[in-house]
Structures are given as C-alpha cells and as structure tokens.
Amino acid sequence: MEEVRASFGRQVRTRREALGWSQERLAERAGLHWTYVGGIERGERNPALDNINRLAQALGVSLAALFAPLNATVKTTHSRKSRKPARPRRS
Amino acid sequence: MEEVRASFGRQVRTRREALGWSQERLAERAGLHWTYVGGIERGERNPALDNINRLAQALGVSLAALFAPLNATVKTTHSRKSRKPARPRRS
C-alpha cells in the first residue's frame, strides 16, 4: 500500500467528520458506495481521478485543498533504498 | 469523458513542457509507460492516485500544486443538462 493512499484517506475522513457526516452520507453525495468510501478512508483503495473529484465536490472542497495536507507526506513515497555503487571485486 | 480528466491532462502537459521534457522522459521518471502518459495528457485516461502521485513527484511538484489550476474547472463536471419538465400532451 502506498503512503499517499493512507494520507489521502485520512484527509477524506477528517473532512467528512468535520461535516459531521457518516460514510454513508458522503458516499451518497459523491455517488459512490459506502464500502468504497470506507476503503478509501482506510487507505486500502487507489481511487481514480473521477472518484477523487466526486469526493472533493461532495465535501465542498477544491482538489487542491483536499491534497494540500499531503504535501509533507508525498515525499515519503519517494524514498528508496539508496543503491550502493557496485563494489569492484577484489582481484 | 469527465472534464476533470482533460483539465488534469492539460496541467500535466503544461508542467512537462515547462521542463522541456518529452512524454518519454516524464514517463521514464514516473515509472509509467509513455503511451499512458500521452493518454493522460489528452484527457483519455482516468489515472489513479498512485500514478497521479508518481507524476507529481516526477514533475517535482506537490499534489496540491498540480491540482491548483483545476479549481475553476472542477465545478464544470457538476453541470448537467437541465431537464425540461414533460410537456403536457394536447388533449
């Protein structure tokens, strides 16, 4: 699971709870199934742009606002094990 | 095709061209296939969060920055053809 999914899911949950909505209510407003919304909030889903947009609209926020808190997190998925240059074999 | 895809695609293209990169170069940096990147730029694809994140990282921008110019456009996907009320039949 990629870190960005978890961050996005937390953000959706935070926005939803700030509105005092259940997952069912958000799902209904976004035209999605509530189990799908639950999966997104838990970071289990990899939602596509259309559905991300539906969630943003249902939550009444811009896409940029929905992603704003992820900026700090985005970089984490960038981290990779640094490759050591191949060691020259001992002759 | 949803309007948000076209807007996102234009934004990816604008960012890529600002870097003077080919689609191939962006694709390579993002770990995606160049035909897929082309499809995204033309608004034909509905990229999922993981790949959106890869594109943002490859382009060196935050997700929020990548979506920032879409704010004005997002609302357009909400517009629907207004349904005319059924005309009463002539009696």
- Chain B nearest C-alpha distance from A48 (Å): 4
Phi-psi region of A43 (alpha: psi -120 to 50; beta: other; left: phi over 0): left
Residue entry with tokens 């407003």: A29
Are residues A55 and A26 in contact, defined by beta-carbon separation less than 8 angstroms? yes
Could you tell me which residues come within 8 angstroms of residue B77 by beta carbon, excluding any fewer than 6 positions away?
A: A53, A57, B2, B3, B4
Whether the per-residue pLDDT at A36 is higher than 60: the answer is yes
The residue that leads in pLDDT, B19 or B85, is: B19
Confidence of residue B90 (pLDDT cuts 50, 70, 90): low
Helix (DSSP H) and strand (DSSP E) numbers for chain B: 6, 0
- B63-81: average pLDDT: 64
Across all residues in chain B, what is the average pLDDT? 84
Considering chain B, what percentage of its residues have pLDDT values greater than 90? 71
Question: Average pLDDT in the B61-89 region?
Answer: 62
Which residues of chain B does A53 touch, with a Cβ-Cβ cutoff of 8 Å? 2, 4, 74, 77
**How far, in Å, CA of A46 to CA of B51, rounded?**
9
Considering CB atoms only, which of B56, B62, B67 is closest to A63?
A: B67
Q: How far apart are CA A12 and CA A33, in angstroms?
A: 15
**Cβ distance of B67 and A70 shorter than 8 Å:** no
- Name every chain A residue with its beta carbon within 8 A of the beta carbon of B63: 4, 67, 70-71, 74
Instruction: Provide the pLDDT confidence category of residue B70 given band limits of 50, 70 and 90.
Output: confident
User: Which residues, other chains included, contact A39 with Cβ-Cβ below 8 Å and sequence gap of 6+?
Assistant: A45
pLDDT at B36: 98
pLDDT at A77: 43
Residue A21 CA to residue B58 CA, distance in Å, equals 36
Which of A8-17, A35-44, B40-49, B68-77 comes out lowest in average pLDDT? B68-77
Structure tokens, A64:
């940029």
In angstroms, what separates the C-alpha of A28 from chain B's closest C-alpha?
15
Identify the pLDDT of residue A83.
42
The span from the CA of A90 to the CA of B85, in Å, is 85
Long-range contacts of A32-40 (CB under 8 A, 24+ apart): A37/A12, A40/A5, A40/A8, A40/A9, A40/A12
Check A67 against B71: CB less than 8 A apart.
no
Average pLDDT in the B13-42 region? 98
Distance from CA of A19 to the nearest CA of B (A): 20
Domain B2-73 of CATH type 1.10.260.40: yes
At A69, the pLDDT band (50, 70, 90 cuts) reads confident
B67 and chain A in contact, CB less than 8 A: yes
Question: Which of chain B's residues have a Cβ under 8 Å away from the Cβ of A68?
Answer: 64
Give the nearest chain B residue to A1 (CA atoms). Answer: B50
Q: Sorting pLDDT into bands at 50, 70 and 90, what band is A21? A: very high
Residue A29: pLDDT band (50, 70, 90) is: very high
Q: What is d(CA A14, CA A34) in angstroms, rounded to the nearest whole number? A: 16
